[in-house]
Amino acid sequence: MEVYTDIYKFRKVIKQLKYQNRSIALVPTMGNIHRAHFELIRNGRKHADIVIVSIFVNPMQFERTDDFKNYPRTLEDDLKKLNSEKVNLVFTPTLHTIYPSGIDKHTFVKVPGISDILEGALRPGHFLGVTTVVNKLFNIVQPDIACFGQKDFQQLAIIQKMTTDLSMDIRIISIPTVREANGLAISSRNCLLTETQTQCAPVLANTMRWIATLIRNGRNDYHSIIKNANTKLQANGLKPTEIFICDATTFQTITKQTTKAVILMSAFLGRIRLIDNQIVNLLN
């Protein structure tokens, strides 16, 4: 496995791979590699000759400086894990490589509409940071496919729209959420939870499954379902920030035409914000 921080050297390797007609899968990450990343890597390998993982904690997508500062950075350990997963190349750019003129003066890429609603309304500027950096990584790596987890459901939809809108010749592969045995969605931030918080965390996924069952059973009084779910979460020490039940394709209110709904949830446990989502197929 080769690790590149220098963009010029890295680009030379990419050029060579392109010249050799090798297909490339990109797995963009912010590091703190865990089991869910392994799934992305393994799927990348299924679809391409070369798997490249990027590790960059992107300040543009954090709206809280303490969250950015505290984001787990475990590069040495990450490289060992990626090496054992037989990743071909790792790209670990510096802040200056990605934002040479600083974040504020940088050109950005914004997907309209969908970036400003739901999670985007709670975290203004977050998706703009995501699409800008993913765009840059796509331009640098020039992958044939790129793998993203369904845990960040809205992010995935935004990236899909961005690639379509900007006519990028990149196939976006979406990978189902990887969970602990207790249902908790695996995430880099989980390692920041205390022991007690780790015990409370699965309540988020449990509550989501409870909502999904109600909806599947025909309940459509979403306001009261959300109210009860909020109470459940609070009773277990979580501070819910969002529970949205909407059309999984349009991200708008569920209508008679909706065939797939999505439950999007997030909650704070202490200073750590957990997110999760579940698709519910509706019988019309």
Closest CA to 140 of 96, 95, 173, 91: 91
Asked if 28 touches ligand PAF (CB under 6 A), the answer is: yes
As a whole number of angstroms, the distance between CA 210 and CA 205 comes to 9
The number of helix segments (H) and strand segments (E) in the chain equals 11, 9
Grouping H, G, I as helix, E, B as strand and the rest as coil, residue 240 is: strand
Q: How far is CA 20 from each of CA 8, 17, 42, 216, 247, rounded to the nearest angstrom?
A: 19, 5, 22, 50, 43
Using the structure block, give the residue that is written with the tokens 């519910």: 280
Does residue 96 have an active-site annotation? no
Catalytic residue among 37, 96, 126, 223: 37
Residue number with CB closer to ligand PAF (88 or 155): 155
Asked if 131 touches ligand PAF (CB under 6 A), the answer is: no
Helix (H) / strand (E) containing 246 = strand 239-247
Pick the piece of the chain touching ligand PAF (CB under 6 A) from 26-34, 40-48, 87-95, 221-229: 26-34
Q: Which of 26, 41, 133, 146 binds ligand PAF (CB under 6 A)?
A: 133
Q: Which of 85, 144, 152, 276 binds ligand PAF (CB under 6 A)?
A: 152
What is the dihedral sign for C-alpha 177, 132, 89, 100? negative
Q: Does 16 show up as a binding residue in the annotation?
A: no
Shortest CB 37 distance to ligand PAF, Å: 9
Pick the piece of the chain touching ligand PAF (CB under 6 A) from 18-26, 88-96, 126-134, 242-250: 126-134
The amino acid present at 94, given as its one-letter code, is T
Q: Does 30 show up as a binding residue in the annotation?
A: yes
Asked if 119 touches ligand PAF (CB under 6 A), the answer is: no
**Contact residues: ligand PAF, CB under 6 A:** 28-30, 58, 61, 130, 133-134, 152, 155
Catalytically annotated residues? 37
